[in-house]
Chain A
C-alpha cells in the first residue's frame, strides 16, 4: 500500500514536472496568453485606459460588464444568506430549543462563554490600524499598482471580523451605521450602475469611459468611484455575512 502511494506520487509529480517543462518560458512574447486579445491590452491598455495596473484596466474598463455582474453575484450571496431562516429560530420551530453541541466540546450544551484572550485582543488592536491603512492603500492605489476594490474589501472584511471577535459583535456592528447599512451593502452594484450610466451619457455606451487623453482625470475619478463602491460594498457584505452567523 505504501509503495503504491509512493509510486502514485512519483508518477503524478513527474507528469506535472513534464507539463511545467513544456510551458513557454516566463514572459515569452509568443506564449498563447499573449497572442490573443491580451496583446492589444498590453500594447494599448495604458494609453487607452490611463491605468498602469492592467489587471484593473481589464476588470473595470475592457470587461466592465463581467465585473458588474460579479459584484451583483456577491450581493446576491448576501441576499440568499439573509433570506435563510436564522439558526435558532429554525431550531425552535422544530421543538428543540437546545443549541447543538459545539463541534469541539464533549460536554454538550452546557458551554460557558469563553473570554477573549488578552494576547489576541492586544495583537488585533496593535495590527488593526496597519490593516486599515493597507486596505485603504490597496484601494486608492489599485489602478496604478497591485490591489483594487476586491482586495480592499477582503482586507476590510477580515479586519471587521477580527475586531468583532475581540471587541464583541455589538461594538463592531456600530462600525456600519444601521441606517446606511441597507445602502452600503448594495454599494458595489449601485456605484457600477451609476458610473455605467455616467459613461452612457458621456460616450453613448453603458459602462463606456471617455477615451480622450484630456479626459484622464475624469476617467480616473470614474474608476476610483467604482473601486470605492466595490470595496465598501464588499466589506459591508462580508461583515453582514459574519453577523448573520449565530455566534
Chain B
C-alpha cells in the first residue's frame, strides 16, 4: 500500500469521524435544548455539516471516480434540504405563535 493511499484513507476516516462528532453534537442539542427554535437550529446545522463531512469522507475512501458524482449530488441535496426544513419548521412555529423558551412537555431542567 503506497503512502498516498494511506494518506487518502486517513483523510477519509478523519472526515467521517468529524462527521460523527457533529452528528452526536446535533443529537445532544436536539435532546437537551429547550424549545423548537433552538432544537431545529442544532439539528439542522450539525446534521448538514456532519452528513456533508461523512459524504466527503466517503468520496475520498477509494479514490475519486465518476460514480462518486452521486455522492456529490447527495451532499448537495443534504445541504439544500436540511436548512430549508429547519427554516420551514421555525417559521411555522413563529407564525403560529409558538413561544420562545421552554417547550411544552419538557420537564427536565
Q: Does B28 contact A (CB under 8 A)?
A: no
Contact with B along A74-118 (1 / 0, CB 8 A): 000000000000000000000000000010111100010010010
Contact with A along B69-109 (1 / 0, CB 8 A): 00000000100110010011001110111100000000000
Q: Does A20 contact B (CB under 8 A)?
A: no
Q: Flag if A120 contacts B87 (CB, 8 Å).
A: yes
Contact flag A123-B96 (CB < 8 Å), given A117-B87, A117-B88: no
Q: What is the chain A residue whose CB lies nearest that of B90?
A: A117
Q: Flag if B97 contacts A106 (CB, 8 Å).
A: yes
Q: Does A18 contact B (CB under 8 A)?
A: no
**What's the least CB distance linking A77 to chain B, in Å?**
27
A-B CB contact pairs (8 Å), 25 listed: A102-B96, A104-B93, A104-B96, A104-B97, A105-B97, A106-B97, A107-B97, A111-B96, A114-B92, A114-B96, A117-B87, A117-B88, A117-B91, A119-B84, A119-B87, A119-B88, A120-B84, A120-B87, A120-B88, A123-B80, A123-B84, A127-B77, A127-B80, A127-B81, A130-B77
Excluding A104-B96, A119-B87, 15 further A-B contacts by CB distance (< 8 Å) are A104-B93, A104-B98, A105-B97, A106-B97, A114-B95, A114-B96, A117-B87, A117-B88, A119-B84, A119-B88, A120-B84, A120-B88, A120-B91, A127-B80, A127-B81
